[in-house]
């Protein structure tokens, strides 16, 4: 196997592990089990993971759990003790120490400090979608530099004839830049594909779950998407008694910044909802 082929193989295996970690943060994620899932020895897994992700596997897991906890404090009303337990802490005290070390304040202080002012509700619709297959590549770094990921994805997809009318452009912003250090921000540049294909190197494949999605439309530059995200999560969904699932929002881009003025960009934000009882 050439060096390039080895790098592609490692990237593919680590993408699978990163997907697994994100979807199983409530579970016991031991390095040994994750190494086995990636088909690496534990010894090599630690070094390969840190080289690929920029932090150790356990630091990565702890950070994701604490950042998820901060989001739950910001946008929900679950008791702090419940959030602590879901974040892998056996006691409120241990969670408070870890949270304070990461964010500089206690969980209760953080919750009180980030309540947004009420905003007029935008048009919000609930739509049902079947499962959607995506091909994607991951970007690490600030959201202002995601164009590199889109260039990689387009260069891979075009020769395969995957850029037809069905190939909607979808972005998945995994992290809140107010919580996550710039170097660890994750963004997936995706296109909708007609059916599942095999992953290839740093091009992964995932399926968006079918079900009910809340959708609102943001009009304007991408660097103002937060102006829609914050009231959507903290006010508009609760006001409609709509409960989001533990799944990242997706962004569907209806035009391109290369040939559209920033104020004319149109982006649908979709949130996967819990099934109604």
Given a cut of 80, is residue 174 above it in pLDDT? yes
Please give the structure tokens belonging to residue 181.
């250090």
pLDDT at 1: 66
User: Alpha-carbon distance 22 to 61, whole Å?
Assistant: 9
Within 13 Å of residue 119, how many CA atoms lie on the same side as its CB? 17
Contact at 8 Å (CB) between 208 and 132? yes
Question: How many CB atoms sit inside 10 A of residue 144's CB?
Answer: 10
**DSSP 8-state symbol, 56:** -
Please identify which residue in the block is written with the tokens 């969670």: 95
Question: How many CB atoms sit inside 10 A of residue 261's CB?
Answer: 10
164: pLDDT confidence band, cut at 50, 70 and 90? confident
Instruction: Pick the more confident residue, 195 or 58.
Output: 58
User: Alpha-carbon distance 154 to 11, whole Å?
Assistant: 18
User: Alpha-carbon distance 11 to 160, whole Å?
Assistant: 20
3-state secondary structure of 219: strand
Q: Which domains does the chain have, with CATH numbers?
A: 3-112 (1.10.10.60), 125-272 (3.20.80.10)
Instruction: Pick the more confident residue, 238 or 98.
Output: 98
Which of 118, 150, 136 is closest to 15 using CA atoms? 136
CA torsion through residues 162, 224, 220, 251, sign: positive
How many residues appear in the chain? 277
Which of 106, 105, 103 is closest to 92 using CA atoms? 106
Please give the structure tokens belonging to residue 122.
């935008």
Residues 6+ apart with CB under 8 A from 104: none
184: pLDDT confidence band, cut at 50, 70 and 90? very high
Question: How many CB atoms sit inside 10 A of residue 120's CB?
Answer: 7
Contact at 8 Å (CB) between 205 and 258? no
Q: What is the pLDDT of residues 93-143, one digit of tens each?
A: 999 999 999 999 999 999 988 766 555 566 889 999 999 999 999 999 999
Given a cut of 70, is residue 277 above it in pLDDT? no
Which of 89, 114, 122, 72 is closest to 236 using CA atoms? 122
């Amino acid at each position: 196997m050439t060096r390039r082929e080895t790098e592609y193989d490692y990237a593919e295996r680590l993408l699978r592990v990163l997907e697994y970690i994100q979807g199983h943060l409530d579970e016991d994620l031991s390095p040994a089990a994750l190494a086995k899932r990636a088909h690496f020895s534990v010894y090599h897994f630690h070094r390969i993971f840190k080289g690929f992700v920029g932090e150790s596997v356990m630091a990565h897991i702890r950070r994701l759990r604490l950042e998820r906890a901060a989001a739950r404090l910001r946008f929900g009303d679950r008791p702090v003790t419940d959030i602590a337990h879901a974040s892998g802490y056996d006691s409120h005290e241990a969670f408070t120490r870890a949270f304070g070390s990461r964010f500089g304040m206690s969980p209760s202080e953080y919750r009180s400090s980030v309540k947004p002012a009420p905003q007029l509700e935008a048009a919000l619709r609930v739509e049902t979608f079947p499962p959607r297959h995506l091909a994607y590549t991951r970007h690490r770094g600030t959201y202002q530099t995601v164009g590199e990921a889109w260039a990689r994805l387009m260069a891979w997809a075009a020769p395969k004839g995957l850029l037809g009318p069905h190939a909607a452009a979808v972005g998945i912003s995994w992290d809140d830049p107010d919580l996550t250090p710039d170097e660890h921000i994750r963004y997936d540049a995706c296109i909708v594909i007609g059916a599942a294909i095999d992953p290839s190197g740093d091009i992964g494949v995932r399926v968006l779950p079918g079900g009910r999605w809340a959708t609102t439309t943001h009009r304007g530059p991408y660097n103002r998407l937060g102006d829609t995200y914050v009231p959507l999560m903290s006010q508009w969904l609760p006001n409609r008694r709509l409960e989001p699932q533990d799944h990242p929002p997706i962004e569907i881009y209806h035009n391109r910044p290369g040939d559209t003025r920033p104020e004319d960009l149109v982006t649908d934000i979709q949130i996967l909802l819990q099934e109604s009882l």
